[in-house]
Structure 1
Amino acid sequence: MPVTGQIAVSGLGMVTPAGSCVDATWRRVCEGGSTVAASHPGLAGMPVDFCASVGEFDSSVVGRRNLYRLDRFVQFMLAAAHEALADAALSAADWDAPRVGVVIGCGMGGVATWERQHGRFLRQGPESVSPLMIPMMTPNSAAGEIALALGARGPGMVVSTACASGATAIATARDLLVSGQCDIVVTGGTEAANTPLTVAAFANLGTLSQRCEDPTAASRPFDAERDGFVMAEGAAALVLERADHAAARGHRPRALLAGCGSASEAHHPTAPHPEGRGASQALHAALRHADLAAVDIDHVNAHGTSTVLNDQVEALVIRQVLPHGPLVTSTKGVLGHLLGAAGAVEAALAVLAIQQATVPPTANLQDPTPGIDLNLVTKSAAHQPVRAALSNSFGFGGHNVVLAFCAA
C-alpha cells in the first residue's frame, strides 16, 4: 500500500577528486579551486591527457581482499555508502533487512577492468582472462556489493541514464519509499571511467575540453571560452528514509527530498533539444511534485557541463522556468564531470547548500557567455539562506532529471 509523507535525506557520503569524505569535498568546492590534474599518467600520449581523479581514500571499509576483487567504481561506492550510513546513525543491527533497498546510478560500469582484461586477452590469449572479469565490470555489482556488505535484502538495482544516472537512482529510491516497499534506501551514483579508451571516445566525440596547456582552467561552465567538459571519477551516497521513520528513531535529517521530475526529449542521441524541451518539462515536473512555486527556489545546482550546447540550453531553461533569478552554480568547475555519479554528487551538494546556507562558486567562470542571463555565483561562495534548491542532471539519450530539496 502506498505511503504518504516526506522523504528525509538522513545521511551523506562522498568520494570525489576534492576529497575522500563529505567535509573535504564541501570545503574544496566552496573554495572554488579546480581539482583537475595535468598530464594524468594513465593518459600519457592521448590527445586529452588530463582529468580529475580521486586520490587516497579510506579503503579500509572495502577490505584488502576486495581491493583486488572489485573495480574502482564499486570501491568508491562502498566507501561513500559506509560514510553515509555513519552520518545517518544507522547500522545493520538497527533495521529490518528485507525493508532496506539499494539503488545506485552508474553510466559506464567497470570500464577499467574491461580495458585491462581485453589487453591481456590480445597479448596472452583467452586463458589469461580473469574469471572475475564479469562480476567486476557489470554495473549492477555496485548495488550487489553494497547489499552484500550491509546485509540489505530489499530491492536492489543499478539504473543507467548516462550522466543523469545518479539523479535517476535517487528518484527511484524515493519511489520505493513512497510505495511502501522500503523503510530505508541507500542510493547515489558512482563512476570510474578515466581510462584511455573512454577518454579517446569522448575526445573524438568532441565533448572534452582540449585545454591541455592549462588543464586547471579547462572546466569552465557558462564561460564564453568553454570548450568541453573534463572527465572525473568518484561517488556519492545518500541514505533516504521517510521523515516519520527518521523521527521515530530520533534522527534529524540534513534536508528533505521534496520532489523529482523526469522527462525524455526524444530529440537526438547526444545533443540537447535547442529549446531545452526535456529539461523544461523535468523542471516543471519537479516543482509540481514538490508542491513548490518557482519563486520558492533559492538555488539551482546546474548540470553545467562546460560544453557549448548544454550550458546555452540549460541557461535558457532556467531563465524561463525560474525568472526570479535564484543563485546558480555548477560545481563541475571544481570537480569535473563525474558522468553517472554527477547527479548524486550534485544532489548531495545541493543538500549541503541548504544545510550550510552557502552556495559554492562556479570555478573558472571569468566571462559569462553573452545571452546567458543567470544569477551565477562566481569568485567566492555566496552565504545566504537556501529554503529550497534544485539539482539538474541531463544525460545522453535525452534523459533529464531534476531533484527538488528543501530544508528539514
Structure 2
Amino acid sequence: MNVRCSREMAQSLGSALYKEWAKRIFAIECSNNLEPLYFALSPTCEGPWDENSRLHQLLTRGQTYSICIASENRIQGAESYAHLRDKLTRLPERCRVMELMAFSPNKQGSLIKGFLVQDDQNSKGTERVLQDLVRESGQTSLCSYTRDDGGRMWQRLRLVTDGQQREIFSNCISLAERPELHPSVLNIKNSVVFCKYEDAYAVLEECAELIPKAKDVLQLADQCNRTSRKGPFPVIVIEGLDATGKSTLTESLRESIQATLLKSPPDSIGHLRKTFDAEPPLIRRAFYALGNYITASIIASESEKTPVIVDRFWHSTAAYAIATEVSGKVANLPPPHHELYQWPQDLVQADLVLLLTVSAEERVRRLERRGEMRTKEEIELEANSLFRQKVEATYRRMENPACVVVDASASKEEVLKNALLVIEKCCVIERT
C-alpha cells in the first residue's frame, strides 16, 4: 500500500521512526534463553516464509500489536520509553509484553526500541489502551499484525489522530537471518557506555532543566582539571560484584602500601545516586560516566603523592551497562576486542585492575550476612544467574588494561597476600 505521509503525520511519527521503515530488520525478544526472532518487511510477498517457524507461531497467537519509540530528542525518547514500559506492565495478565527492536544491521545508532503486545482474547479494550499511549507521545507508532488468505503475515503501521486511525504503511513479513551483532549492541556507545567526557557531559546538560540536580554534577565537572596526567605513583582499581570483598581489600591495601583510597562516583556526588538511579539508562549511565571523570581528576592529583586505590572505576560502569543493555544469552554480548571494551582515551588510566571473584553461592551468603539495602542491579544479580554471567563475562573482556582475576573466596588475609603479589609483579611500589 503506497500512502504519502503529510507533514503533520511525519512530525507525529518522528523522522527517525518512519524514515526507511520498510528497510529495517525487526527482532522480537521472546525469552532470555532463546534466540530473538528476526523478520524483514516488503510491500510484496516475495521474502521467505515458513508457517512452521517460531515467528509464525508467535504472531498468530491472539491479536498482536507493536509500539516503537523514536525521537529527535534523545532525552524525550528515553523518558517516553520508560513511561511506555511502565504503562504496559499494567495491562491485564492475559496480555504478553515482549521487547521489540527495529534496526539497520551493523549500523551504529540505528536501533529503535519498542514492545510487542499480544492479547489472547482479542479485546478491543487492549487496542484502545495502546491507542491512548500513542496519543500521549508524538514519537510513538502503533502497528498491528494480520494474516492474509494465503497464510502470510502483514505489519500495518498506523497513525492515531483525533480518534481516527490512518494506515501509513502495510508490509508483508518475511523471515530474516540473524545479524552479525546483536541489535542492542548498535546503540550502546554514547547511550549507556560513554567513551568521551564530552558525550556524558552533553547528556546531563540536555536534561538539566528536567533534573535540576544534574546542574550540581555539571558544576563539579566544570571545576575538574582535565588536562592533568596521572602522577608517578601507581593507580590500582579493585573491581567485582557486591560481596566479593572489595571494601575489605581496599582498606587492607590502603594500610599495606600507604595509599590514598578513592571510589567512583566520589563522595561529592555520591549522595545523588538515588536520584539518577531512578532515571532512564541514558541519563543514569551518563551520571556514572561523568562521576568517573570527576574521580579521575582526584586520581591525577593524589597519584603525585601516594599510590591510589580506587573502589570501582570505568570497568564496572561499562560492564554493568553492557550486561544490562544486551538482552538474552552471554553469546549476545559484543565480541571480544570490540571497541566497547576499550578504556576511554581521555580518562586517566589505571596501572592495574584487580577483579575479585567468588562463587555465586558464597556471594549470596555474604550478602545475607550483611543485610544491607541492595541496588536494583544487585537484586537482579542475585535473582538472575544469566545477568550475573554476562556481567562477569564483560569484566573479563575489558582491555587496556585488562582485569587480573583474584580468587576472593579465601580468608581476607590470604586474599590480601595474593593481591599484593600481583601488585608487586605489575607495579613499582614501596611497602611499609
TM-score greater than 0.5 by the shorter chain: no
Rg larger in structure: 2
State the TM-score, normalized to the length of structure 2.
Answer: 0.27
Larger relative contact order (Cα-Cα within 8 Å, sequence gap ≥ 6): 1
State the TM-score, normalized to the length of structure 1.
Answer: 0.28
